[in-house]
Amino acid sequence: MGTTSKMYDTIYNKGDKGNMIITHNRYDVKTGKLVAGVSYKVIWSDPPAVLQPEEKTSIDFESKTISSLSWKAPQRSVYINQGLYGIYYITPGGEKYINKDISARLTTEKPIQKGTKGAKRLIQINFGNGFHAIYNYEWREGNTIEKPVQTATANGWQLINYSFKDGSVKKNSVLMGTTSGLYDTISYKGDKGNIVITQNRYDVKTGKLLAGVSYKVIWSDPPAVLQPEEKTSIDFELKTISSLTWKAPQQSIRADQGLYGVYYITPGGEKYINKDIRARLTTEKPILKGTKGAKRLIQINFGNGFSATYTYEWR
């Protein structure tokens, strides 16, 4: 402005869903000199597959400046179109708008409201420079059917399938050393990313509840692409809802890498989860490079015969 000098701007990204780098550079056309620019990484977890009404919801978000000349990373935010003006995901310090490097769990200002059949809702993550990710939701009554997994386009281990093992069962047995009849039920409710598992044992004759436990598990999907030579993480929460004698069974997350596999461990280094927890679990070791067509599994074990399996293929 105010001169005859011409400038050339480039804005581009590399990476994939959940982990990408955005670069904005400005050059002098005549000399090719870089006049100003910024490059920054954004890492985020998917929001839950099901947004529970009357509960707040969270995503993990990280933004880190890689290089900068004059400019800084533009403002970032996460928004859901609820109410007249929408509600934002805020930092632990209460900020709606992110203007600096950060690594934190962002949580909605208010709980998610109940919807009506067929109503739509969207979560939009704004990364700046015209980039954003949108997650579209629809209100449905009861459990929903799993949607096909979308494959990614970057090189590495690419997600090709998701499956859920249902451990629900009803069975009769006899208490050891007695003639007392027992009736066990194991069931779940919810959907991918947020389920409640219940195991109860009753006396057949009286119908009395002898023992039982009900627990919630919330987890984020692993990345659509596992990058070789990098560790990978999953956000995981276990919360006991009710308990009579029993407690929630052991939980774990494992990738089938190497002879014994690689576990996702807690910040304290535990492989096996035997108590209520809310944390980011990260692989003990980096993910190894594969060969064309090779398969890899990540299995999340919820106990009582329930598990979620993510299948990857090297491409």
| Predicted pLDDT of residue 3 | 76
Is residue 1, in this structure, part of any structural domain at all?
Answer: no
Smallest CA-to-CA distance from 310 within 154, 192, 153 is with 192
pLDDT digits (tens, 9 = 90+) for 38-60: 999 999 988 888 888 888 889 88
pLDDT digits (tens, 9 = 90+) for 111-134: 999 998 889 999 999 999 999 999
Percent of the chain residues past pLDDT 70, beyond the cut: 94
Query: Do both 115 and 258 map to the same domain?
Result: no
pLDDT digits (tens, 9 = 90+) for 194-227: 899 999 999 998 999 999 999 999 998 888 888 8
Query: Do both 86 and 199 map to the same domain?
Result: no
pLDDT higher for 253 or 104? 253
The boundaries of the domain holding residue 41 are 7-141
Residue that finishes a domain, picked among 81, 106, 141: 141
CA separation for the pair 211, 205 (Å, rounded): 15
| Predicted pLDDT of residue 5 | 80
Query: Do both 178 and 283 map to the same domain?
Result: yes
Is residue 149, in this structure, part of any structural domain at all?
Answer: no
pLDDT digits (tens, 9 = 90+) for 220-275: 888 888 888 888 899 999 999 999 999 999 999 999 998 889 999 998 999 999 99
Query: Do both 50 and 170 map to the same domain?
Result: no
**Band of residue 17 on the pLDDT scale cut at 50, 70, 90:** confident
CA separation for the pair 109, 56 (Å, rounded): 8
Lowest mean pLDDT among 31-35, 163-167, 222-226, 280-284: 222-226
According to DSSP, the β-strands at 120-128 and 131-138 are antiparallel
Residue that finishes a domain, picked among 82, 107, 141: 141
Query: Do both 205 and 282 map to the same domain?
Result: yes
- Which residue bears the tokens 């090297």? 314
Query: Do both 202 and 79 map to the same domain?
Result: no
- Amino acid at position 184, single letter: D
Is the alpha carbon torsion for 114, 141, 121, 134 positive or negative? positive
Q: How many CB atoms lie within 10 A of CB 176?
A: 7
Lowest mean pLDDT among 1-5, 63-67, 99-103, 141-145: 141-145
| Average pLDDT over all residues of the chain | 89
Query: Do both 116 and 173 map to the same domain?
Result: no
Is residue 146, in this structure, part of any structural domain at all?
Answer: no
Both tokens of 237, joined, read 């929460």
Question: Does residue 135 have a pLDDT over 60?
Answer: yes
Query: Do both 131 and 185 map to the same domain?
Result: no
Number of domains the chain is built from = 2
Both tokens of 71, joined, read 């400019």
Phi and psi dihedrals of 169, rounded to 5?
-160, 155
| Predicted pLDDT of residue 178 | 62
CA separation for the pair 144, 127 (Å, rounded): 30
CA distances from 233 to 109, 141, 265 (A): 25, 31, 9
CA separation for the pair 315, 309 (Å, rounded): 19
Query: Do both 108 and 168 map to the same domain?
Result: no
Is residue 148, in this structure, part of any structural domain at all?
Answer: no
Is residue 155, in this structure, part of any structural domain at all?
Answer: no
- CATH number of the domain where residue 56 is located: 2.60.40
Query: Do both 126 and 173 map to the same domain?
Result: no
CA distances from 138 to 28, 49, 51, 82, 220 (A): 48, 11, 10, 13, 19
- Helix (H), strand (E), coil (C) string for the chain: CCCCCCEEEEEEEEEECCEEEEEEEEEECCCCCEEEEEEEEEEECCCCCCCCCCCCCEEEEEEEEEEEEECCCCCEEEEECCCCCCEEEECCCCCCCECCCEEEEEEECCCCCCCCCCCEEEEEEEEECCEEEEEEEECCCCCCCCCCCCCCCCCCEEEEEEEEECCCEEEEEECCCCCCEEEEEEEEEEECCEEEEEEEEEECCCCCEEEEEEEEEEECCCCCEECCCCCCEEEEEEEEEEEECCCCCCEEEEECCCCCCEEEECCCCCCCECCCEEEEEEECCCCCCCCCCCEEEEEEEEECCEEEEEEEEEC
Question: Does residue 4 have a pLDDT over 80?
Answer: no
pLDDT digits (tens, 9 = 90+) for 86-96: 999 999 899 99
Longest dimension (CA), the chain: 97
Question: Does residue 142 have a pLDDT over 90?
Answer: no
By residue count, the chain amounts to 315
